[in-house]
């Protein structure tokens, strides 16, 4: 039986979510994605018009198929949580059933169960502000979109995951080392995500027999990273200082995710796996 994967946080072909989808598809998984509601229209249109066809090519020459794209906004758990201005916003009004609980229900209705859950999303409205200047609103919004969103996804999807299943999120070393510029509470959000990976590994392991891991990825020129504003500098810093002096490709993170999701990793849970050309191991720059 082929495995089914739900990947939350795919809205173009540049980010880690897309690369993870491709690696999982290459390994034979059926791909479902969750796309942020405001980005849904352009993503689906681009997909339909063939704009991503070149990046859909898998190692065997076939094209990755996305079985279904679900609208998702991971900062809302149930319809009751959605404020009136969002509900009536024209970018949201055209879609329905996009809160976490409703998406899990739709996936259950459509496919019964899944095997792999990937959280590849983050948002911090004040990311370009130093933590010292971050507002309470900005900090809590970063935690809500980037950390609690994972708790919520697991809460709602774990019951429809087959035993032996795996879940993976994406984190960044700014959680444990000082990375000036990664502000707005995003460093705090990643610290929460990593700590939660351990607690959720225990709870979901005991209750559902599934594994929970996170990948601490090196810098990639994704849409989200470009919005932070220092991505080129981080990529240069890595190629100057990391043990492996090459640019990190999204595919390398995708492949590590496919490993973590596979039976090859059946005893690995609660871990942070660094996929960063080894940069995390350096104590000083060279």
Q: Which parts of this chain interact with ligand NAD (CB under 6 A)?
A: 9-11, 14-17, 36, 39, 72-75, 120-123, 145, 170-172, 217, 219-220, 222-225
In this complex, which beta carbon is closest to ligand NAD, that of residue 222 or of residue 277?
A: 222
> At its nearest, how many Å lie between ligand NAD and the CB of residue 43?
8
Catalytic position from the list 70, 139, 150, 182:
182
Say which residues have a Cβ less than 8 Å from residue 275's Cβ, sequence separation at least 6. 215, 216, 217, 218, 248, 252, 253, 256
Shortest reach from residue 100's CB to ligand NAD, in Å: 9
For 12, other C-beta atoms within 10 Å of its C-beta total 18
The CB-of-252 to ligand NAD minimum distance in angstroms stands at 12
If the CB atoms of residues 114 and 217 are measured against ligand NAD, the closer one turns out to be 217
Report whether 164 contacts 119 (CB < 8 A): no
Measured from the CB of residue 120, what is the shortest distance to ligand NAD in angstroms? 4
Contact 249, 243 (CB under 8 A): no
> No. of H helices and E strands in the chain?
11, 7
274 catalytic, yes or no?
A: no
Catalytic residue flag (residue 172)? yes
Element (H, E) at 165: strand 161-171
- 3 state SS of 63: strand
Residues 6+ positions from 139 with CB-CB distance below 8 Å: 126, 184, 185, 188
Query: Which residue number, 236 or 263, has a Cβ lying nearer to ligand NAD?
Result: 236
Task: Give the integer Cα–Cα distance in Å for 129 and 115.
Answer: 38
How far lies 213's CA from each of 40, 45, 77, 182, 273, in Å? 27, 33, 22, 22, 8
- At closest approach, how far in Å is the CB of 61 from ligand NAD? 25
Query: In 10 A of CB 201, how many CB atoms?
Result: 20
Judged by beta carbon, residue 162 or residue 259, the one nearer ligand NAD is 259
The catalytic residues are: 172, 182
């Amino acid at each position: 039986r082929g495995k089914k994967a739900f990947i939350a946080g795919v809205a173009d072909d540049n980010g880690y979510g897309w690369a993870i989808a491709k690696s999982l598809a290459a390994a034979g998984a059926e791909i479902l994605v969750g796309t942020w509601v405001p980005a849904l229209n352009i993503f689906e249109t681009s997909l339909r018009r063939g704009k991503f066809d070149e990046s859909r090519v898998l190692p065997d020459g076939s094209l990755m198929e996305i079985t279904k794209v679900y609208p998702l906004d991971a900062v809302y758990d149930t319809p009751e949580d959605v404020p009136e201005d969002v509900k009536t916003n024209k970018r949201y009004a055209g879609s329905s059933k996009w809160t976490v609980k409703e998406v899990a229900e739709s996936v259950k209705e459509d496919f019964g169960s899944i095997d792999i859950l990937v959280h590849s999303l983050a948002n911090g409205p004040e990311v370009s502000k130093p933590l010292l200047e971050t507002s309470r609103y900005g900090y809590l919004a970063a935690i809500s979109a980037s950390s609690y969103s994972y708790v919520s996804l697991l809460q709602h999807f774990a019951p429809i995951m087959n035993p032996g299943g795996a879940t993976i999120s994406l984190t960044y070393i700014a959680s444990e080392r000082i990375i000036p510029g990664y502000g707005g509470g995003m460093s705090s959000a990643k610290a929460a995500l990593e700590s939660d990976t351990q607690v959720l590994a225990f709870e979901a392991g005991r209750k559902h027999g599934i594994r929970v891991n996170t990948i601490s990825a090196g810098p990639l020129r994704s849409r989200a990273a470009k919005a932070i504003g220092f991505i080129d500098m981080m990529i240069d810093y890595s190629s100057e200082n990391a043990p492996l002096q090459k640019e990190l490709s999204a595919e390398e993170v995708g492949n590590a995710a496919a490993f973590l999701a596979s039976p090859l990793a059946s005893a690995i849970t609660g871990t942070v796996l660094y996929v960063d050309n080894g940069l995390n191991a350096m104590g000083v720059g060279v």
